[in-house]
Each structure stands twice: as structure tokens, then as C-alpha cells.
Structure 1
Amino acid sequence: MNIFVGSLPFSIDEADLRESFEVYGAVNSVKIISDKFTGRSKGFGFVEMENDTEAEKAIQELNGATVSGRTIVVNKSEPKPEGERRSFNNNRSGGGYNGGGNRGRY
């Protein structure tokens, strides 16, 4: 099960996050999301656990827990529906921000 972890302190690293979840069972992967320009944590991440029962227990017990003075949010990660993804080219008439750019100029 993929688990979302939000409101993380910026000082926490993936090893610390893994350790918090391993108390409840085997952890397949841990990923803290960072800003691609600065490399600084964005304050959220994802933990993948193999066993759904163990994952549910981790969610129940860690949601609302305090980590380094911050109350974290922990819940099951649900993929975004395709229609909610951000796109600069939502129309089918061409590229760019104005739907094709050169229409009507010739």
C-alpha cells in the first residue's frame, strides 16, 4: 500500500521516516519529495508497505502524531484522476498558451 505522509518537518530524512514505519512492518520504499531547484524538502513524502494490514495500523497510529514539533498527516495515497492533472495545452487545436499561436494571421 502506498501511504502519503504530510506536514513533515524539513529536517527529517528518508532513513528517519523509514524507521518510524518499520515499527509496524516491512517497508518497501520511502521517498521524501524535494524541490527540484533547491533540493529542500517540500514537507511531504510517500511510504510503501507490502502488507495492507500493517500499513493500515501505521496510518491509524501515526496520523496526528508529533514529529519534531509538527503534527504529521498520514493517510492512504490515492492516485489523482487523470482529469485533475495540470496541463498547459488542454485544447486539441495546437500548442502554446493561446491554442496554436498563428491562426488567423495569414
Structure 2
Amino acid sequence: MSIYVGNLSYEVTRDDLVHVFSEYGTVKRVYLPTDRETGRPRGFGFVEMEAETEEVSAIEDLDGAQWMGRQMRVNKARPRQ
């Protein structure tokens, strides 16, 4: 399972997300897509954790939380179409 993290500040780094999500367990992977033309972050990312129970706990606690001046949207990522 992968977690979608949306409405992120454009200043957020991979290390920032690892720090926040590591409070819920082991972070396996973080992906922050960037705009092809500008190279700037797109304001969302994906986090994968070691166990599904850790992911569920992170989603429950972080969805709607204020972080870096924005209200995060955190939920289960949908499969790519």
C-alpha cells in the first residue's frame, strides 16, 4: 500500500516527510513528483511504510493536520491508471 500526501507546501523535502512519517513506523520510500518544466515540487507526494498497520495509523492521525502552514490531505493512494 502507498499513502498519498496532498496539499503540501512547495518547500517540503523528502527528509521532512521521512521525519513526520517515521513517528508511525519505518518509512521505506518517499516520492515527491516535480514539474517537468520548472523542476519545482508539485505539492503532493507518496510515502510507503514497512507495515500496513503503520500506514493506517499515519493516515488516521495526519489527514487534515496542519503542517508547514497547510492542511495536509493524507489517504490511501489509488493505483495508477
Determine if the TM-score, normalized by the shorter chain, exceeds 0.5.
Answer: yes
Considering fraction of residues, name the structure with more helix. 2
Structure 2 match to 1:68: 68
Structure 2 match to 1:86: none
The 2-side partners of 1:20 and 1:29 are apart by: 13
Higher relative contact order (CA 8 A, sep 6+): 2
The number of equivalent residue pairs is 81
1:1-106 to structure 2, matched below 5 A, reads: 1-80=1-80, 82=81
Following TM superposition, by how much is the alpha carbon of 1:24 offset from its aligned partner in structure 2, in angstroms? 0.2
The 2-side partners of 1:59 and 1:49 are apart by: 11
Following TM superposition, by how much is the alpha carbon of 1:49 offset from its aligned partner in structure 2, in angstroms? 0.8
Q: Counterpart of 2:33 in 1: which secondary structure?
A: strand
2:72 maps to amino acid? I
Following TM superposition, by how much is the alpha carbon of 1:37 offset from its aligned partner in structure 2, in angstroms? 1.4
Following TM superposition, by how much is the alpha carbon of 1:78 offset from its aligned partner in structure 2, in angstroms? 1.4
1:39 maps to amino acid? G
Deviation sequence 1:43-79 (CA, Å, 0-9, x none):
0000001200111000000000111110010000111
Runs (4 or more) in structure 1 with deviation over 4 Å come to none
Question: Once superposed, what is the RMSD of the aligned Cα atoms?
Answer: 0.9
Q: Counterpart of 1:43 in 2: which secondary structure?
A: coil
Larger radius of gyration: 1
Q: Which sections of structure 2, spanning at least 5 residues, go unmatched?
A: none
